[in-house]
Amino acid sequence: MNPLLGVFLALKDRTTEAIPVLERAVGQFDKVGWDLAMHALVRAHLSSGAPDRAMKLLEQLFDKIDDRHLAGQVTSALFDAAAFENAAQLGKRLFERYGYTGYAYNVACALARIEGPLDEALAWLTKAVEAGYDNVAHMEADEDLVALRELPAYVAIRAKAESNADEKRSAT
């Protein structure tokens, strides 16, 4: 089946019809257009309100794709759907692959939203800051980090983020 048909259907917001066409196309990794079909399928799952299906698809194809923006969109959609554990899981893999500080920061946010000990959330916020995260104003305003801001360890993490911001300003 031609993946372009599935892409066309998805673009026309006919996701119910597009998803099976795209799923067949994505299953044919060696065919021209499978990557286009995969992108369209992930987006179709997101727009149809099924971020968990988009996550599963990305998990299956993680080693075959290299699109940090698409994966970031899935992470955001998982977060928006309150699927914090899945968002954290995907964010960890993305940070490991790309090293982008925003992924580590978002992992910290997702983990801070999950009930339980906050040690892992603090560790991921530390990773973000050690990797260069410097948006202190966002850290202070972000509702996802409310529970972390109440902890003594947060003060040192914030100070390191301020230092990152100072270094960045000095370099420009």
**Per-residue pLDDT tens over the stretch 132-145:** 999 999 999 999 99
How much is the average pLDDT of 18-32?
71
If you ran DSSP here, which 8-state letter would residue 31 be given? S
Q: For 67-73, which contacts have Cβ atoms below 8 Å and span 24 or more sequence positions?
A: 67/39, 68/94, 68/97, 68/98, 68/100, 70/39, 70/42, 70/43, 72/102, 72/103, 73/42, 73/43, 73/46
CATH class of the domain at 1-98 = mainly alpha
How much is the average pLDDT of 56-78?
74
Q: Is the confidence at residue 31, as pLDDT, over 60? A: no
Q: Is the confidence at residue 39, as pLDDT, over 80? A: no
Question: Counting Cβ atoms within 10 Å, is residue 68 exposed (0-12), middle (13-18) or buried (19+)?
Answer: middle
Residue type (1 letter), 15: T
Model confidence at 65, in pLDDT bands (50, 70, 90)? low
d(CA 1, CA 120) in angstroms, rounded, equals: 45
The torsion angles phi and psi of 150, rounded to 5 degrees, stand at -80, -10
Question: Counting Cβ atoms within 10 Å, is residue 114 exposed (0-12), middle (13-18) or buried (19+)?
Answer: middle
Q: Which residues of 11-44 are buried (b: 16+ CB within 10 A; e: fewer)?
A: eeeebeebbebbbebbeeeeeebbbbbbbbbbbb
pLDDT of residue 54: 77
Q: Is the confidence at residue 112, as pLDDT, over 90? A: yes
Kindly compute the dihedral angle of the four CA atoms of residues 77, 81, 82, 88, in this order, to the nearest 10 degrees: -30
pLDDT of residue 73: 75
Model confidence at 3, in pLDDT bands (50, 70, 90)? low
d(CA 85, CA 88) in angstroms, rounded, equals: 5
% of the chain surpassing 90 pLDDT = 44
Name the residue ranges covered by the structural domains of the chain: 1-98, 101-172
- Mean pLDDT is lowest, of 13-17, 64-68, 70-74, for 64-68
Please state the pTM of the whole predicted model: 0.75
**Residue for token pair 């923006």:** 69
pLDDT of residue 2: 67
How much is the average pLDDT of 36-64?
75
